[in-house]
Amino acid sequence: MEDDAILADGLTQTLSQSGYEITCAMTGIYADCALRTQDFELVILDLNLPGLNGREVLQKLRSRNNPVPVLVLTARDGLNDRVNSLECGADDYMIKPFNLRELEARIRALIRRSYGGFSHDIVIGRLTLDTLNRQIRVDNDPVNFSSREYAVLEILLLRSGKVVSKDKIAQRLSTRGETLSDNAIEIYVYRLRRRVESWGIGIRTVRGLGYLLEKKIGV
């Protein structure tokens, strides 16, 4: 959530190239609406949003008991601003200007922490998800996937043992102005299921709910 169009566009392009799906909100009202209606893995929040300021957006978010990690990215460098933001529920605080490598490292750390882990690697069967380098390995050898196949597999791996709805997958894959059909999601899951079965992983369809990735018994 960033009101500087140039910075917002630059961040969107950079993070998209790193494999993230981005929703950009230029006002506090739009940011609050997006946070009410969509699920996100991380929020990057400017304090100087028009309409509702960033602190008000953050307070409303936490009042709904939404635990999504929030990284405040702002030009405000005062101690009170940092303390107040953290006390309102922010998980991290960065001051502009900033280094992109550091920002991406903090993003990865917050997402990793939100899933209850501190290791960069998630290992299931013969497959390893390297969350630091956003890479899939099998028996320690890199395996190539299309960007969308990777995104589907990543969200299933990060929530392994839990059902992931089609809506959540669609949110992860969809870009602004584009709607991803249930049929398209089924095709991506079908392709992945065929590939990962030999690696000791199953992707089970839970009818009416979504998909569940789990390690195969005895593998």
Q: What is the pLDDT of residues 69-121, one digit of tens each?
A: 999 999 888 899 899 999 999 999 999 888 888 998 888 888 877 766 555 67
- Better-predicted residue by pLDDT, 30 or 19: 30
- pLDDT of 2: 53
pLDDT above 70 for 205 = yes
Q: Where do the domains of the chain lie, and which CATH numbers do they carry?
A: 5-114 (3.40.50.2300), 121-215 (1.10.10.10)
Specify whether the CB–CB gap between 38 and 85 falls below 8 A: no
For helices 147-158 and 182-196, angle between their N-to-C axes, nearest 10 degrees:
80
Q: Residue 95 carries which side chain, given as an amino acid letter?
A: I
Q: What is the pLDDT of residues 138-186, one digit of tens each?
A: 998 999 988 888 888 988 888 888 888 888 888 777 654 456 788 888 9
pTM for this model (two decimals) = 0.59
First to last CA, the chain: 44
Across the chain, mean pLDDT equals 85
- pLDDT confidence of 187, banded at 50, 70, 90? very high
Q: What is the pLDDT of residues 134-151, one digit of tens each?
A: 789 999 899 998 888 888
| Mean pLDDT confidence for 196-214 | 91
Long-range CB pairs of 75-84 (<8 Å, 24+ gap) are 75/48, 76/47, 76/48, 81/47, 84/55
Q: For the chain, what percent of residues have pLDDT higher than 90?
A: 34
**Cα separations in angstroms, 30 against 25, 37, 74, 76, 88:** 6, 11, 18, 22, 20
